[in-house]
Amino acid sequence: TLRRGGGPKGTLRRGGGPKGTLRRGGGPKGTLRRGGGPKGTLRRGGGPKGTLRRGGGPKGTLRRGGGPKGTLRRGGGPKGTLRRGGGPKGTLRRGGGPKGTLRRGGGPKGTLRRGGGPKGTLRRGGGPKGTLRRGGGPKGTLRRGGGPKGTLRRGGGPKGTLRRGGGPKGTLRRGGGPKGTLRRGGGPKGTLRRGGGPKGTL
C-alpha cells in the first residue's frame, strides 16, 4: 500500500474505498468524481447514475430543481415546470395556479392580472369577470362607487347617479332630495335657492 489511502493493495489515491478508487469520492470502483453515488457519477449531485448537475434527483436531472427527469428550471414541480411557480406542467410564470396561469394572481386559469377572481379578471378589483376598475361591485362597475352596474361616479346610489349626492337617480348636486334637486336646499324639485321651504322660496 504505497499511497495515502488505507484500503487494500493498489489504493493509489485519496479515497478510502475498494480497489481502484482513484479519486475523492468514497463510492465503489470507478467513482471518478466528487459525488458519492454508484459508478459513473461524474458530477456534484448525490443521485444515481448520470446525475450530471446540481440536483439530487434521478437520472437526467440537468438543472437546479429536485424534481423528476427533465426538470430544467428553478421550480420543484413535475416535468416541464420551466419557471418559478410550483404548479403543474406548463406553469410558466410566478403564480402557483394550474396550467397556463401566466400572471401574478393566484386564481384559476387565465387570471392575467393582480386580482384573485375567476378567469378574465383583468384588473385590480376582486369581483367577477370583466370588473375592470377599482370598485368591488358587480360586473361593469367602472369607477370608485360600490353600487350596481354603471355607477360611474362617486355616489353609492343606483345606476346613473352621476354626482355627489346619495339620493335616487338623477340627483345631480349636493342635496339629498328627490330627482331634479339642482341646488343646495333639501326641498322638493325646483328649490333653486338657499332656503329649505317650498318651491319658489328664493
Q: For residue range 135-184, what is the model confidence (pLDDT) as tens digits?
A: 334 443 334 434 444 333 333 344 433 344 344 444 444 444 444 444 44
pLDDT, average across residues 122-136: 39
| Nearest residue to 165 (alpha-carbon basis) of 192, 148, 185, 194 | 185
> Residues 187-198: what's their mean pLDDT?
45
169 domain residue, yes or no: yes
The set of residues, in sequence order, having a beta carbon less than 8 Å from that of 9 and lying 6+ positions away, is 1, 19
Domain count for the chain: 1
pTM of the entire predicted model: 0.10
What nine digits make up the cell of 82? 420551466
Dihedral, CA of residue 133, residue 139, residue 140 and residue 145, to nearest 10:
-60
Judge contact between 108 and 97, C-beta under 8 A: yes
User: Predicted confidence band at 123 (pLDDT cuts at 50, 70, 90)?
Assistant: very low
Q: Considering the domain boundaries, does residue 80 fall inside one?
A: no
Confidence band (pLDDT; 50, 70, 90) for 50?
very low
Say which DSSP state 202 is in.
Answer: -
- Structure confidence by residue, pLDDT tens digits, 1-42: 343 444 444 444 444 444 444 444 444 443 344 444 444 334
> Beta-carbon neighbour count of residue 170 at 10 Å?
15
- Give the separation between CA 171 and CA 163, rounded to whole angstroms: 7
**Rounded distance between C-alpha atoms, residue 173 and residue 197, angstroms:** 18
Question: Using one digit for the tens of pLDDT, what is the confidence trace for 76-90?
Answer: 344 433 343 334 443
In a domain, 71, yes or no: no
Contact 5, 18 (CB under 8 A): no
Domain of residue 162 covers: 131-182
Cell digits of residue 36: 458519492
Q: Determine the average pLDDT of the residues in 45-62.
A: 40
> Is residue 139 one of the residues assigned to a domain?
yes
Structure confidence at residue 126 (pLDDT): 39
Contact residues for 92 (Cβ-Cβ < 8 A; gap 6+): 82, 83, 85, 100, 102
- Is residue 149 in a domain? yes
Provide mean pLDDT across the span 90-109.
39
Looking at residue 61, its pLDDT comes to 38
How many CB atoms neighbour CB 3 within 10 A? Answer: 11
Question: Does 115 fall in a domain?
Answer: no
Measure CA 86 to chain center: 10
Distance in angstroms (rounded) separating the CA atoms of residues 90 and 109: 12
| pLDDT number for residue 181 | 41
